[in-house]
Amino acid sequence: MSNLLTVSPSPHVHSDDSTRKIMYRVVYAMIPALLWSVFIFGIDALRVTLIAVAACIAFEYLIQKYLMKINPSVTDGSALVTGILLAFNVPAGIPWWIIVIGSLAAIGIGKLSFGGLGSNIFNPALVGRVFLLISFPVQMTSWPVTRQSDVDAVTSATPLGIIKEGLTNGTPVSQLLPDLPATSDMLLGNMGGSLGEISVLLLIVGGLYMLFKKVITWHIPVSIIVSVGIIAAIFWGAAPQNYVNPVYHLLTGGLMLGAIFMATDMVSSPMTPKGQIIYGVGIGVITISIRLFGAYPEGISFAILIMNAFTPLINTYVKPKRFGGK
């Protein structure tokens, strides 16, 4: 009988949005920053990104098909996002096999060991990054020359690296300043750093696109940026020779990449606006604590992973305000 009617419960219409479309919007939002890094670091940046993407997709497919024996879900676009984000978090000159290992850690440990998309507690790309940072600390901090570096330089340091080293050795801030990039260079991305973190301006453009497309809301990025800025400003105001201007904290060290693209990962961040602000402030406080008092110059990756771990707790205790509730 071809004229059988479908009977199903309401609603009978759907918004037509899909998880895949959302993932692709994240990808589009990352393209400007990616192009910029190709401009700054050359074709190496593209090489690293393509390897990371291919490896993430391949590992997801292979593990799901042969180990988990389920239908591979690579078409949902999430492995693509993880691949690009992982590439954004490594130096552009990193050897190919390290990226492949990072991709395996991201997809295998970070995502599939928890059950796959939606079940992971941590941001998979960050799991990959931190895995690499611990396993290959040298390669992960060998920053390639940018087109602005001195011709005979082999590697260039990141601004936060220079600051950390200088302050640890007791150099006052005023003597470090000549070595640091100008604010305009930091905004644009004329500086050393991980592949995707350098152009603050283009990361913000991507973030605004995601805001506009309702992929993210403002709560997480703004609360991270504001809390880092305020705390950095307090220390700077109290002892300007021992602490740098907050601008350096905001514009370098992957803060924008972390705040806009990594911390906002839907799966591993809280569900309610209030919960998102708690989470964002948590990330901000931990990041700046690591930067000012810890061993690492950057710190936002660790901060996000730590707050990822708190997300289930936040979701349990921070409930939306119920209509008609007390």
Partner 1 sequence: MLKTFKKGGVHPPENKLSSGKPIEVLPPPASVFIPVAQHIGAPATPVVSRGDTVKVGQIIAKSSSFVSTNIHSSVSGKVKKVDFQADSSGYPKQGVFIDVAGDEWIDEIDRSDELKKEFELSGEEIVRKIQDAGIVGLGGATFPTHVKLVPPKGMKADVLLINGVECEPYLTSDHRLMLEKTEEILVGTQLLMKALNVEKAVIGIENNKPDAIQLLTEKSKTYQGISVVALKVKYPQGGEKQLINAVTGREVPSGGLPIAVGAVVSNVGTAFAVYEGIQKNKPLFERVVTITGKAVSSPSNLLVRVGTPTSVLIEAAGGLPENSGKVISGGPMMGRAIASLDVPVTKGTSGILLMEKEQSKRKEYIACIRCSRCVSVCPIGLEPYLLMTLSEKQIFDQSEDAKIMDCIECGSCSYTCPSNRPLLDYIRFGKGKVGQIIRSRKK
CB of 273 to partner 1, least distance (A): 8
The reply on whether position 73 binds partner 1 by CB under 8 A is yes
The reply on whether position 325 binds partner 1 by CB under 8 A is yes
CA pair distance 159, 148, nearest whole angstrom: 14
CA pair distance 313, 167, nearest whole angstrom: 37
CB of 308 to partner 1, least distance (A): 12
CB of 21 to partner 1, least distance (A): 7
- How many alpha carbons lie under 13 Å from residue 11 in its C-beta half-sphere? 4
CB of 240 to partner 1, least distance (A): 41
Kind and range of the H or E run holding 66? none
Nearer to partner 1 among residue 79 and residue 255 (C-beta): 79
CA pair distance 145, 151, nearest whole angstrom: 9
Question: Among 6, 169, 174, 184, which residue sits at the site for partner 1 (rule: CB under 8 A)?
Answer: 6
Question: Among 177, 226, 266, 306, which residue sits at the site for partner 1 (rule: CB under 8 A)?
Answer: 266
Binding window for partner 1 (CB under 8 A); candidates: 15-23, 84-92, 220-228, 254-262: 15-23
Nearer to partner 1 among residue 20 and residue 39 (C-beta): 20
> What is the amino acid identity at position 17?
D
Q: What is the DSSP letter of 107?
A: I
Give bridge partners of residue 118 from the DSSP assignment.
none
CA distances from 270 to 17, 174, 220, 276 (A): 21, 41, 9, 5
Handedness of CA 247, 248, 249, 250 (dihedral sign): positive
Nearer to partner 1 among residue 95 and residue 118 (C-beta): 118
Binding window for partner 1 (CB under 8 A); candidates: 31-39, 171-179, 269-277, 288-296: 269-277
For 156, other C-beta atoms within 10 Å of its C-beta total 18
Residues 105-164 that bind partner 1 (CB under 8 A): 116-119
For 2, other C-beta atoms within 10 Å of its C-beta total 3
> What is the amino acid identity at position 154?
V
Nearer to partner 1 among residue 19 and residue 149 (C-beta): 19
3-class secondary-structure state, position 155: strand
CA pair distance 65, 73, nearest whole angstrom: 9
CA pair distance 132, 97, nearest whole angstrom: 11
The reply on whether position 11 binds partner 1 by CB under 8 A is yes
Question: Among 169, 178, 239, 324, which residue sits at the site for partner 1 (rule: CB under 8 A)?
Answer: 324
CB of 198 to partner 1, least distance (A): 29
Nearer to partner 1 among residue 119 and residue 242 (C-beta): 119
Binding window for partner 1 (CB under 8 A); candidates: 4-12, 138-146, 183-191, 227-235: 4-12
Is residue 163 within 8 Å of residue 297, measured between CB atoms?
A: yes
Binding window for partner 1 (CB under 8 A); candidates: 9-17, 43-51, 128-136, 242-250: 9-17
3-class secondary-structure state, position 245: coil
For partner 1, the binding residues (CB under 8 A) are 3, 5-15, 17-19, 21-22, 73, 76, 78, 116-119, 266-269, 271-272, 315, 319-325
